[in-house]
Amino acid sequence: MLSIKNLHATVGGTEILKGLTLDVPAGEVHAIMGPNGAGKSTLSYVLTGRQGYDVTSGTATLDGEDLLALEPNERAAKGVFLSFQYPLEIPGVPALTFVRTALNAQRKARGEDEIAAPAFLKLAREKAAGLKMDFDMLKRALNVGFSGGEKKRMEILQMAMLSPRFAILDETDSGLDIDALRIVADGVNAMRAPDRSMLVITHYQRLLDYIRPDRVHVLAGGRIAASGGPELAHELEREGYDKYARQAA
């Protein structure tokens, strides 16, 4: 599915990713953990094509196709999705309108017909119920006045509606209480599929109690410093990142 080889990237002229190599096979959920400033969010922005995050060398492919050669909207149409650590507020744009516009734009890019309004509303009600969201929330301006937990649920609702092939979840657990964490995790787990992969970025092992990853990777100093099974997350929770940060220095 996703294959990254020796990826180097800069932000504002400073190198952040320094030879990162990572493979996420189809059907698997991988977690990336690491200290602040290690490059976790930078990796998510590079993969989705955010302006100002410049790749200087290396490759990133999705099912063999050069991801870095595509514009952000083209990557989205290919099935790449990013759940933001800090979801944006968009005053004046109802959440339903935003999601339907995004969904139909992707369908058009793939040569598919637009989704009809009745079918869209039925799907939106179904996905909102699964996330214990009041459907009236979707009629409000996107994320405006939402709590932190509501914003994160809205991100997962968008993922469920868009049904991406490769999803990146950037600190989805940030700002969530236990109940909201479980609801969001259930929404993520419901998206697991043999033809879909996910990359979960987090600081804390607690999220991984609910979203059980196939592999855990430590990102330190701009590269993958260690990889292992779920037990690696428990080690990091006990011992911290110092060992890997020193090795990467």
pLDDT per position as a tens digit, 101-156: 999 999 999 899 999 999 999 999 999 998 889 999 999 999 999 988 889 889 99
29 is a domain residue = yes
Query: How many domains is the chain built from?
Result: 1
Instruction: For residue 64, give the CATH number of its domain.
Output: 3.40.50.300
178 is a domain residue = yes
159 is a domain residue = no
169 is a domain residue = yes
Across residues 143-170, what is the average pLDDT? Answer: 92
Res 249: pLDDT:
65
pLDDT at 89 exceeding the cut of 80: yes
Mean pLDDT taken over the chain: 92
Q: 87-90: which pairs have CB atoms within 8 A and are 24 or more residues apart?
A: 87/143, 87/151, 87/152, 87/154, 87/155, 88/142, 88/143, 89/141, 89/142, 89/143, 89/144, 89/146, 90/141, 90/142, 90/143, 90/144
97 is a domain residue = no
pLDDT per position as a tens digit, 201-222: 988 788 898 999 999 999 999 9
> Percentage of the chain with pLDDT > 90?
73
**pTM value?**
0.92
237 is a domain residue = yes
**Residues spanned by the domain of 170:** 2-89+164-248
116 is a domain residue = no
